Amino acid sequence: MLLIDPAALAGQAVFFERVATLVSAMLAEDGVRLPSERDEAAARAAAEQGMALPADLLASIRLAAGGPG
């Protein structure tokens, strides 16, 4: 893990401006994804549409929660 203190460099405003410029340039290239981009899209889809669970897993979860299987 790399930790950077923007205040120790050019200052926080300049640091975030440069990061935004770098990210924009990266995203302009075909096939480039940011870390966790796919996970965030999957989480949004699950929140909006729900998730399909196998019947046996759903029954186990219900039993563990104290409900009917």
Q: What is the pLDDT of residues 12-49, one digit of tens each?
A: 899 899 999 999 999 999 998 888 888 998 999 999 99
- Cα end-to-end distance, the chain, whole Å: 44
Question: For 36, how many CA atoms within 13 A lie in the half-sphere containing its CB?
Answer: 3
pLDDT recorded at residue 7: 86
pLDDT recorded at residue 69: 61
Q: What is the pTM of this model?
A: 0.48
pLDDT recorded at residue 45: 94
